[in-house]
Amino acid sequence: MKIDSNSQKIILLSLGFFMLLMVMAVFHENGILNAYRFEQEQVKMKEENKGLRRQNDLLQEEIISLKSDSLLRLKKLPEKN
C-alpha cells in the first residue's frame, strides 16, 4: 500500500496539530502543570488556615480568661467611700 503525498501531508498536519494541542494542554497558562501548581498552593493555604484558626481559638480563650479574671478582681476590690 502506497500513500500519496497529499495523504501524507494531511497525516503530518493532523499529527502536528495534535502535538500542538498536547503541548498547549500541558504547558499553557491554563494547562495541567499550572492547575497542579495551583492545587498544591491551595492545599498549603488550607493547612495554614487550619493553623490560624487554632491560634485564633486559643487567643479567644485567653481573652475570655483575662476578661473573667479582671471581673473577679474588680468584685474583690473594696469600695471607696
Reported as a single tens digit per residue, the pLDDT across 40-54 is 999 999 999 999 999
**Residue ranges of the domains in the chain?**
1-28, 31-76
pLDDT at 73 over 80: no
The answer, yes or no, to whether residue 80 has pLDDT greater than 80, is no
Range 4-24 average pLDDT:
94
* Residue 26 CB partners (closer than 8 Å, separation 6+): 32, 33
Distance CA 67, CA 2 (A): 91
* Integer CA distances (angstroms), 12 to 1, 15, 17, 22, in order: 18, 5, 8, 15
